[in-house]
Structure 1
């Protein structure tokens, strides 16, 4: 009995550090798992809520659910007391608004989930084809990117965006998180920086590579074509119960999040890209070689 109480307590404490959107995804995944274990279809779940099957798919995909509806589904699935407590805690926490003055509120609305998940995920997997990831950029690189934007940004906008991007990099200090970056070698050549500043950027990559919780791999040009080489995305993994992943896709002037059913494909793609990329020491050698040429 005591052991079961400890499990309930642990699960109720777990969701409180997660972003609201992630808690909805965890809750949806939990409900899908319990539905399958109970031998119920989405149609049967929809009947219990007097709604369409699409709503159940929406809930299980992380769209959120009202408490009354949650209770109906949990009863249908004959959920345990531990799951009841955990699911209700997730539902309650996921409906809380972000605190005024929270770090993510410095950013545009479409970026706020990204800023919330960076410091809270257990693992981050990132692929970039032509641009060095924001978490690895020097101030000079970030400013140069801002100057390339059209229509042109004001000095104040570039100052603000650069300061915010650099402030995000504190997450790399958390050794409980693991960060893995794969970059096409093109990121070294398609640069807005003069040679001296680009050399500093490349040496910064070498420094970050020495962190115990960071992996950086380059995909050399001589590899030729490899799967997903033109796709920029980031996967945020959470060791929740059940575990979930959030995939952020880079777009021209904004980002979007892949549907839950697509996340497995991106994890498989990242494994293929890891296989195509050079190992850590070969990557270090290539970075130092390139820096010496500048």
Structure 2
């Protein structure tokens, strides 16, 4: 077979999608556009699987969960009233920052959730909300984890619909550019005591990841300036040595600390208002 030929198949339903994948001896590319278009754009080969008939375009609240279908566009996430209301609107804001308007109408939630590279905003937001990816074979994984054995494509992303204060801060070359370093934070407090803390960082390591050391500096403690500074110091020590023309490793670690401080200061201010 010539290298530039491919097979296109629009699956009728989930069973059809799984069947055609199992029958193919060639590589399979499930058409879930990611927030960054690779350059140069790869030539299509093997099976190109279209999921648009599977009705996976939805944003809903169900049984205490927010559920987002894998085919839901990033623009739909940015516009969704349900996502704007919850968690300080962090998922809607993250979708807005992920990429430019034209690509937001093509890129989808599933593509953003499993992207190994590219704009980190949505993965950060979902990490601090403890979101899970539900796969076609019924398995579940966390954001950033490898696909479970036997899984071919994500069906939906879900997270608990709880009242959580959240913030996303980033440093970019321009306001619409991809983040060099970004930090997302989420807190739940009671009587100024932190009962739940999540902090996730991108731009220091190869992929967005939670910073458990920073979380531990806050969880179970009072939301004070000293404890926020301790969390920021822990963020500066997060593992990773990423370095390129946009920022050295030392710069990225320093900005992780600065952005963690900013995010937590913003949440503390909201908590006291």
- Superposition TM-score, scaled by structure 2 size: 0.29
Q: Which has the higher helix share?
A: 1
Q: Which has the higher strand share?
A: 2
